[in-house]
Amino acid sequence: MDATSVAIVVVQAGAVILLAPLVAGIAARWKAWTESRRGPSILQPYRDLAKYLRKETVVPRGASWVFTVAPFVAFAAYATISVILPIITPYPVQVAPIADFLGGGLLFGLATAFALLAAIDSSSNYPALGASRSVSFAAFAEPTLIVVFFGVALITGTNNPYTTNNVLASSFASYVSPTHLLVMAAFFLLLLFETGKLPVESAGLSELGMLDDGRTFEHSGRLLGLFRWNGWTKQFLLFAVFLNVFALPWGMWSAPTFPAALANVAILLGKMLALVAVLVVLEAMLAKIRLFKVRDFLALSFSLAVLAIFAFTVLGGA
């Protein structure tokens, strides 16, 4: 592995891990504007992170090693995902072939599984309730993700995200094919659910709709900070997959050089800000759905994903 390849891998992983809090901060700031508030600084997530890392970590009595290790495992999983998906470069970086789309999905699952185990391991009712809620909805979300992967594999004939990016960027007919449009719509709904955006909004401390934050009630200090960071990284990764693989596969520089990789970081950030703007507008327009209606939302997402496969069959490989 030469120095340039290593540098590009570092840029890709570094961009995901370091820029994720910035995107979350910008989203929070813009959302505040739509609510006629000034909002926190876009650097607030970094300040929060620094605060969490300084604070004392308290571990509940009776909690096992899972409680402590879980945030680190999730962080490692997201860091690994950041180098196997087309986040910055349209070509596979040196370590990308270790997993395909399905492998990426499994790593997302690994991170979630450890977060759930840590919640249950805390021996407290509240995190266990959060974990229980989270799992009961994830059971509806995971099939959609798998079917979306099937849909992508049908269009491109492979389960490699880089090939998908390449096929969609080079063929407009593939981009506007019913299968791709439906897969994109299904993934967008899933993205709203996974990142806790309205109309689902799983983030925040509102008890009735709380899904994600319920799981980390017993975590504190550095461990809580890592969980927060993981949440922002997961959001960044899902945004990047949606943009680079499904919605806007164009615009990435394909030259395998360090300056091109840096330029691609700026391009990705630009695309991401556009997506954040769309999401902020959507959030201003939509009301939160009731908790038991989340499964309807996910059923719709699943239906669209299945219809994508159906459209591929009925419309003759379109």
Partner 1 sequence: MDTTRTVEALLGLGILLSALYLQSESFIDPMVSGIAVQSLLVAGLIGWLAYANGSLELAVVALLVLGVRTALIPILLRRQIRAFRWRARELRAAQRVAGHALAAVAIAIVAWFVFQETLAPFLPPTPGVALPFVLLAEGLLMLATRTNTLVQVIGYLEEENAIVYAGVLFVVAFPLLIETVVFLDVLGVVLVSIILSIQRNVFGAPEEEPLEELTG
Positions touching partner 1 (CB under 8 A) are 173, 176-178, 181-182, 293, 295-296, 298-300, 302-304, 306-307, 310-311, 313-318
User: Least distance in Å: CB of 198 to partner 1?
Assistant: 18
Q: Is 46 exposed, middle or buried (0-12, 13-18, 19+ CB in 10 A)?
A: middle
User: Least distance in Å: CB of 230 to partner 1?
Assistant: 30
User: Least distance in Å: CB of 295 to partner 1?
Assistant: 5
User: Least distance in Å: CB of 144 to partner 1?
Assistant: 12
The torsion region of residue 17 among left (phi > 0), alpha (psi -120 to 50) and beta comes to alpha
> CB-wise, 159 or 171, nearer to partner 1?
171
> CB-wise, 27 or 186, nearer to partner 1?
186
| CA-wise closest residue to 104 among 128, 86, 131 | 86
Which residue type sits at 252? M
> CB-wise, 96 or 184, nearer to partner 1?
184
> CB-wise, 88 or 190, nearer to partner 1?
190
- The token pair at 307 is 């219809």
- The token pair at 102 is 């399905």
Letter string b/e over residues 285-318, b meaning 16 or more CB atoms within 10 A of that residue's CB: eeeeeebeebeebbeebbbbbbbbbebbeeeeeb
| 129, containing H or E segment | helix 125-156
Q: Is 62 exposed, middle or buried (0-12, 13-18, 19+ CB in 10 A)?
A: exposed
State the residue for tokens 């091109």. 260
User: Least distance in Å: CB of 285 to partner 1?
Assistant: 16
Q: How far is CA 125 from CA 119, 122, 210, in A?
A: 9, 9, 14
> CB-wise, 131 or 147, nearer to partner 1?
147
> CB-wise, 207 or 296, nearer to partner 1?
296
User: Least distance in Å: CB of 139 to partner 1?
Assistant: 13
User: Least distance in Å: CB of 134 to partner 1?
Assistant: 18
The torsion region of residue 251 among left (phi > 0), alpha (psi -120 to 50) and beta comes to left
> CB-wise, 65 or 292, nearer to partner 1?
292
User: Least distance in Å: CB of 182 to partner 1?
Assistant: 7
3-class secondary-structure state, position 190: helix
User: Least distance in Å: CB of 296 to partner 1?
Assistant: 4
Rounded distance between C-alpha atoms, residue 282 and residue 37, angstroms? 17
| CA-wise closest residue to 23 among 196, 242, 199, 274 | 274
> CB-wise, 183 or 267, nearer to partner 1?
183
DSSP 299-310: HHHHHHHHHHHH
> CB-wise, 282 or 300, nearer to partner 1?
300
